[in-house]
Structure 1
Amino acid sequence: FDWVDTTTHKRQAGRIFKSTDGGAHWAPVSSGTGPFDTVLDYCTTQCFYDNVVEPDPTNPNVVFVAGSFGYSMPIQSGGIFRSDDGGATWRNIGWDLHPDFHALAFDPKNSSNVLIGNDGGVWYSTSRGGRTAAETAPCTASTCLKNVTWQDLNGSVNPATAGVTHRTNLQITQFTSIGTNPSFPDVGGGPGARIWGGSQDNGTERKSATSNTWFDLAGGDGGQVLVDPTDFSYVYGTYFGISPYRMTDGGAGFFTNQFITNGINPSDRSEFYTPFVLNQNNVNQLFLGTYRLYRTDNAKAASVGDVKWNAISPDLTTGCTGTSPNGARNCTISAIGVGGGTAVYTGSLDGLVYFSADAQVNNNPTWTRVGVHSNGVGDKHTLPGRPVAWIAVDRSNYRTAYLAYNGYSASTPHQPGHVYKTTDAGQSWTDISGNLPDNPVNSLILDPSFPNTLYAATDVGPFVTNNGGASWAALGTNFPTPALVISKADAGVPVGPGSNLKYTITLRNIGSADATGVTITDPIPANTSFVSAQDGGSGGGGSVTWSGKSVPAGGSIAVHFTVNINPGVSSSVTSVTDDGYGATDAQGQSVSGSPTVTKFAPPYAVSLSPSAQTGGAHSGQSQTYTVTVTNQGFKTDSYTLSASGGTFAATIYDATCTTPTSTTTSIVAGATATFCVKVAAPAGATDGTSSTSTVTATSAGSPTTSASATIKTIAVTVDTLLVDEDGNAPDVRSFYTGALTTAGVAFDTWDLNADPNLPVKYMEAFKNIFWFTGTSYPAPIQPYEGSLSAYLANGGRLFLSGQDILDQGAGTTPFVSTYLHVSWDGSENQNDRLSNSVTGVAGNSVTNGIGSVPLDLSILGGAGLAFMDQITPINGAQAAFMDDGSNTKPAVGSGPQPDALTFSGGGYKVVFLAFPFEEYGSAGQKSDLVTRVVNFFNAP
């Protein structure tokens, strides 16, 4: 075990203790010899979880010890050890096994037959795990570590071919989430036959649509998995902690997942598996919870670096930084509920539930805590203070929602139960636990076909209720049926008295059978009059009706109509509310929707975007910015444009950036127009000085109405920008500044740790960028791939260096293949390939003539933390350095492999080191390499 020293209060590394008198006295045994055959710290900080000590029942001198995998060993292995001499010496028998061990059992008839259990399943050996013969020190991978005899009893798949290499029918994976998709083509299993699952320490897995084969596509831990209901190609998942990623190939390849973390603070308090939800009615919108709620509205952006998250709430917990007052692990959001309309619910481990009516559409929504008015037993306004495990919201009407609670009723005797329901958006709650056993409920699913049918996953199995919770029974089977979800949206155009207001009603069928004989009805909103209906609709009797429609299983239809807001509506009326719309089908299904509120816009209003920009301009040159003006009023308008302030001259041009202008054309309500602003840095401007101009658009219809935006331009007098992305962990900037300075290269510096928002317009002011990432992980450059693509496409020159830049899906992005010119399959074949030296490649434009240069691995933590990569240059790129070939997998080939490249073509140049430049040789050798790179950049 491990322990905390009562004197120093510091944790002590785990050790093995032995008693020879029935436990009366204990003494530590030898921890063995390093770096491989040692049990010192064998269970690291997870002794509460990964800790097995089992002596052979027939021989007390043979003992097995199992704990946490040896990630920090020079060659990763360990986690399970055996002593054959009562603890005097130990042998590492964890070669090529799945990490973290929890169980061990002996064959009672022959103790040489051993079963072990870890996070990857079960392994078996008939010779105590192997390494039973005499060995010659020191132990290495080739001399002894590989001499284990474990047989894999789990199914396995070749990541290169996706072929099943081993099948045992052992089905013990622990799933943390499940996702299906009705849009996946029917290949024999019916819609949704392709099933996804997040699994504990076994990645995000996909089931074949034609067999019972499962594929781990992302590795690591598998948390929440989300599948786009309209496009099976888009799949989202998480590892542990704050780690959202996406795939866009529907799981066709291994390790194609790419992180989407731009805008999320990785230091936020969060659950081990963060709650992660996709808006079924807006597949571009995702929500992720830490102690606050984040939202992205462009989850399907072309580049993962362009997916932007924004925090849309304050702390929605009690704020504790340790164990929660109710005994839960921490104070973080544990559940997110998103349904029809515009509302969102959250629940936390410390038992708080919040509701926002506009969190799907407002960047600064209003949050209200619900269930806090304690008036004793049976109080309909009070909720249990236990951890909230799940929130299920009606997909059409957000006012109906359900909460699932962990824990046991005895801990909240005044509010017992595990499933609560609201029909008024959280104003009151009803316990519908019925006869559910008093056990934690971990998730809830609403049956969209039958309003009173819910499914609850509990610690003791799944249950179903068909009567709204009055009674529950063990889960049974059902028959194919439609399941309707209805939603409504206005056109998003500013409206007011006299405006036409256009609506779209979308009806989706997420069930397993076609919906026929569908009728959609919608009452005409108050203070409006019917104008027209499309798609076969008709108005009359105060409502709009569409009849005789069909919606295929997994499909959807949309209908449209227009009303006119009464021109003489009272000034006290500030919005139009459309409520009461719904649909029925011939199969007996019915659904009603959430209210849609359209607020009146002012007659004249305007906005400029972006509201602030920053760029750079070489002294004596100008930088060009694009600004968009939007008519936010409900009347057609035009605008006068002006620029003021600042010490650099600013001139406004039309959208072509060639003709000066001072006005826009007429812009209808909600429409946009673009114009350009050119800011010139004076010829004598000092490097780093800046000028901030204010651009203003003034309404012609209401001269007192205007909008402004600022443009900051930084004067640049050097050609090179050094971008520091090492996060100061450790701080390695001095290696780069020293090499650049010695090489005579003048440069400016941008520290992403101090300001992560590096404007592409500022990057464009530099001919060369030297960018380093140090130990930043994971996927350090992904948030900047859009900017780097634009920079290179505009003729830039990039030097990039760091370790683990390409790990798994980070190396499979379009930027990596298109601009870094690297082919990367996302597997472990080229990942984390330790090398003690690199050698220049003969004939390369930069490294020709450079011999073997040592890498000082101690700079970033030593061999155990060396995560350089091997690469395959493509599309005209040339290998620049080769590694020492000491850590190569057969799938790649034997001997030295490329770990750096150069590229020149398409108007841009790249030098990419897949190892840390800071570890490269001496100071003189670093300076020499920088000189070679700059000469390469400057060459024609």
Structure 2
Amino acid sequence: MAFREIGPALAGGRVTSVVGVADDPKLYYLGSAGGGVWKTVNGGATWSPVFDKQNVASIGAVAVDPKNHDVVWVGTGETNPRNDVTWGDGIYRSGDGGKTWTHLGLEATKFIASVAIDPRDSNTVVAGALGDAFADSPERGVYRTTDGGKSWTKTLYVGPRSGVSELAVDPKRPDIMYAGIWHFQRKPWTFESGGDDDGIWKSSDGGKTWKRLQGHGLPEGMTGRIGLAVAPSNPDRVYALIESKTPGILWRSDDAGTTWKLMTTNTLVNQRFFYFSHVRVDPHDADHVYGVSEKLSESKDGGKTFKAIAESLHSDHHDLWIAPNDSKRMIAGGDGGYAITLDGGAAWSFSRNLAIGQIYHVGYDDQNPYRVCVGLQDNNGFCGPSNALRGDGIPDEAWERIIGGDGQWAWPDPRDPNLVWTDSQNGRLTIYDRTTKRTTLVQPYLATGAQHFAPGSLKYRFNWDSPIAFDPFERSRTYFGGNVVFESNDRGRTWRPISGDLTRNDKSHQIAAGGPLALDNTGAESTSTILDIEPATTTRGTIWVGTDDGLVQLTRDGGAHWTNVTPPGVPIDGRAEMVAPSPLTPGVAYVTIDRHYLGDHAPYVFATRDWGAHWTPIAAGLPQQEARAIRPDTRNPHLVYLGLENSFWLSYDDGAHWTKPSLGLPTTASYDIRVQPHWNDLIVATHGRGLYILDDLTPLQQLPQAEAAGAMLFAPRTAYRYTLHSDDEGLYTRYAGKNPPNGASIAFYLKTPGANPPAIEILDASGKAIRHLRGTTRVNGHDVPIVTNFAGINRITWDLREDGPVRWDGAAREEYKGPRAGVAVVPGRYAVRIAIGGATLTQPLTVAADPRATQTAADYRAAYAFAKSHMTAFSALDAALNRLDAYAASAAARAKDAPALATQLGAVRTRALELRGRLTADFTNDEDSIGHPDRIREELEGLTGFGFGSGGVPSAAVREYAGRVDAALAAAMRDVAAFERDDVASADAALRAAGKPALATSGAKRTDVVGGEATGDDADD
């Protein structure tokens, strides 16, 4: 039992660090903001995550050892510290290309900007740490190791709020290096970028000692973030992007930092210093410079003039790597993923095959299959299927964009799932019509751009992440959160506040964001606003609200009166990220409060059973990670799901105890958790790895009862006879998320594995066993059990087909041996039976028709009868072929032992081969039939593959054709029977008289193969 990843990948996600290898143009690594480290060995055609089982997912820097490409260093903690940035836990090293990792300390640095490996000595590494972006930190600065990370020495420290923005090393004289020192700290409502101690520092002894560079053309006074690059072809040439009060963007030194001159004031080169600030130089031309910012820009005159390039790429770039031996080969990383060029930027490739989307929230509808809708950081909002009903998974094209910008919330309208409510920053609320593709703005209040620079004067304030909710009792009623709760009963045409200001309304926090050097008003720091609105499904008029300054508010009369029910004892100004009322028990609710913006990473999680009058802390035993999302189960009143910053947890006792399940979810932040109530699926929106679904929660919901019983067969949910379809020949390098296995999901629990894997039987309505799931099947060249035998939860999929026919062992290729599975069953009532734990357990199972199908029950029965008769005939034919092959082979062998019977046995062999040739053309390759006519088997194979088992009734022409094939088969089988009755029987009698064994026979074995997947509770180990 494991989560499945469904994407989307077409929008990418924030890539923070990219690196390639000079002498292997197919090898690249990239680090992402919340999705770990990825590796490609085929030039980006496909990527593999190589950091999933480490403690953190935020990556600041990736470096490959120039002496050994299998040695990779990773500094964790992204250093583009926008509002959704998350922290790391130090530095890691892999010696085998990312297969395994060793944690090498620097845990408290939190955010590492650069890692520089000495090209002369792989054990000497310098790391530049920004340090904790949310608190004063003595761990900021430059660290150096000479023993491969066993020990570190801090060689440069300026102050508790100033760390390293970037390191740059002279590639010809690696003892010379430069460090940008940057004062930065973020609060929930603003951030500081710039300080008096900031600037450029230089080392001439490999980072052992440092000297500050001042004056001589550098900007005077306070500076902020600094980006640095040394020109490899002329290492005396150093470029610096410097945030300062001095009008200017890019400075240059031609004497290794002794003197500097301002080259450009063009903001194209660097737009938002705190978020971008990287510059790169062509390895072979010191005048050829790239600005890595909101746009990629290029200068060919040493930084005097720049032009925008790569304008087809997603904006907001964070890194650019240029191959040292081929300056035309580059990889760029930014908010939209990665892109590779082989021609100096004339053309860029991005296969949209990396699911590292940073989702804020997920919504769903109740269709069959249901759709999910997500809002992504800087990558729009999308809706897509939970099951694409395609054999190749859920490809990028299955997703539909519903909003631009930074999407946050996205919910299908409960009365019309083709209307999707979605919002982006500053409360920009829209309804997207999936039918007409039209977007309608329904925002309750619009402020001018100038007003956002004075948020304290706004009539209404909206969070970056403003919540949308629907009333479960009045389906036409929508709620939207500002600093008040808005209500609309006419799909956003009109709104009315149903509350006063529910926040602390601290005016000192309602200020323009940024400073002291530059303001940055995007709405990301908007505060004194509502983060979550959760109407209770158990009690009409009950609405819970969480605010971004730590309050929990409750109304029990539809908004007429509100009560502050904030858990006591929580320090102020945390973020009440999620307030989740129980869908089963009135008055029960759970809340997560996040204080990491204030440097406090403790998980604050609380539960109430009396409408917020009293709260119980329920975070005991959890790691020091801020709590993001919480959701009670929809069927088990004591089961609760919890998402922390880097892990996922569940509790079976209302939060008194927590366990970290092994369900295949990678290390990443869980920002939203939902249970789709009709399908009983768990949906987790991660902020760094896209969307994950755990299908059919029944085994988890009933796990306590299963553990008490020792063995349990869980009741399977209704299985649908979906018809799958794909539009092309394959995915090639394109991404596809996972569909649920097509068929009936069967799960059982074993306290202790049995001596042998159990067998499962599928029974029809009369109690007859029509499918036996047992034995092994070949997977990637290995025999694996069809039914697993793990301690814990086991889950397999029945493909809704009967037992397979006899297969012809003598076919030239495995795929020519015949069908592995039998005829698709008719929609109706079935049962699952398994013998485990010393008992035989049975559960009913309903198979339903594809909801898109127009066939009647009678159509399904007629199609089944037709397909069944021809599958039976196919089985009889292949059994006959197996016998004929055995007769021919054994006749030749017996003739050697009984030469007196050689003539008779030779005739038997000849006749067996003649009949074999009448039954089958015995093709060797796919297009042999173009030059040779089919025989009976090939014609019958066509009949079994016409798809009548899916419910289509055969036409008159098909029936007439089938009649001719049936007649030919009947005649041939009569001849086979006569051959066996006369020729084989006579030969056997002669052999027995001579004291020799009779002719061998074969052909009774049927196939027992399951379609779909087998998984256990340790499937990700």
**TM-score bucket of the superposed structures, by smaller chain:** 0.3 to 0.5
With the length of structure 1 as denominator, give the TM-score of the two structures: 0.40
Q: Which has the higher contact order (CA 8 A, sep 6+)?
A: 2
If the length of structure 2 is used for normalisation, what is the TM-score? 0.37
